[in-house]
Amino acid sequence: MLPTSFVAIGDSFTEGVGDDLPDGRQRGWADFVALGLALAATGPVRYANLAIRGRKLMPILTEQLEPAIAQQPDLISLNGGGNDIMRPRVTIDSVAHQLVGAADRVAASGSRMLLLSGANPSRHLPLGSLLRKRGDALAVAVRDLLPREGVLFVDNWADEPLEDLRYWSADRLHLNALGHARVASNVLTALDVPVPAEWGVAEVAAAPAGRPARRTADYYRRYVLPWIGRRLTGRSSGDGRTAKIPELTPVDPAAFRPL
């Protein structure tokens, strides 16, 4: 059955960082999924996005999970743990069990659960081999706990073509518009909802691969050093931010910018 109400929770991946619009707003895969649902539905579709960049998994679960459930949507999505595995110390099994426990909580509430992994940026990042090792371990740990009743899992980490540089923004940590559209196509396909042809997902996938990333001094100055600075001072890119769409709101297809 087509979901007609959808709440997304998570961190920068779900907020849409990297898919930046000219007016400063972020769009992202969850917005694209909401649009795909609205285009496929015969009636209104409502959407909320509670995700906030920089959030580790525990704050996502304590701050966003219950407010999402309280809105009683047909579908709730959860992605988290990406910021956890980038910290010096992390227990992979604990992250996996928290994710799946939250998924069970959503399923028990009566909403359908969409649990999804993030895309894999490790090919383009400093210390990427460590991130890949941890991300692979988390993906295996989550898969070992699935399937679960009422839980749909979309494994973007295993989408190897999505690692290509053409899908990543300038910071190489967040997807760009093309990458977010591809993730949305993975989700809509899993929901058995048509992927709008005008997004061009198939055409981009068929194009030649992008060149390998070059990490220049400017790249480190603009992206790596600020990230290190936040870690050393205990700050987060999400400090002071609130959810971009806190309550279920009707989706207006005309309000979405094309790729």
Q: What are the two backbone dihedrals, phi and then psi, of residue 87, each rounded to the nearest 5 degrees?
A: -85, 160
pLDDT at 1: 85
pLDDT at 212: 64
Those residues of the chain that have pLDDT short of 50 are: none
Contacts 24+ apart (CB under 8 A), 136-145: 137/92, 138/81, 138/85, 138/92, 138/95, 138/96, 141/92, 141/93, 141/95, 141/96, 142/96, 142/99, 142/100, 142/115, 142/117, 144/96, 145/96, 145/97, 145/100
- What gap in Å lies between CA 17 and CA 177, rounded to an integer? 9
Pull the structure tokens for residue 173.
């940590």
End-to-end CA distance of the chain: 28
Kindly state the DSSP code that residue 48 receives in the 8-state scheme.
Answer: E
pTM: 0.92
Residue 229: how many other CB atoms lie within 10 Å: 10
pLDDT at 129: 93
pLDDT at 4: 98
> pLDDT tens digit string along 172-195?
999 999 999 999 999 999 999 999
Residue 209: how many other CB atoms lie within 10 Å: 10
pLDDT at 224: 65
Query: How does the average pLDDT of the chain come out, rounded?
Result: 91
Helix, strand, or coil (residue 118): coil
What one-letter code names the amino acid at 206?
A: A
> pLDDT tens digit string along 189-244?
999 999 999 898 988 888 777 666 666 666 667 766 666 666 666 666 767 789 99
pLDDT at 213: 63
Kindly state the DSSP code that residue 8 receives in the 8-state scheme.
Answer: E
Kindly state the DSSP code that residue 20 receives in the 8-state scheme.
Answer: B
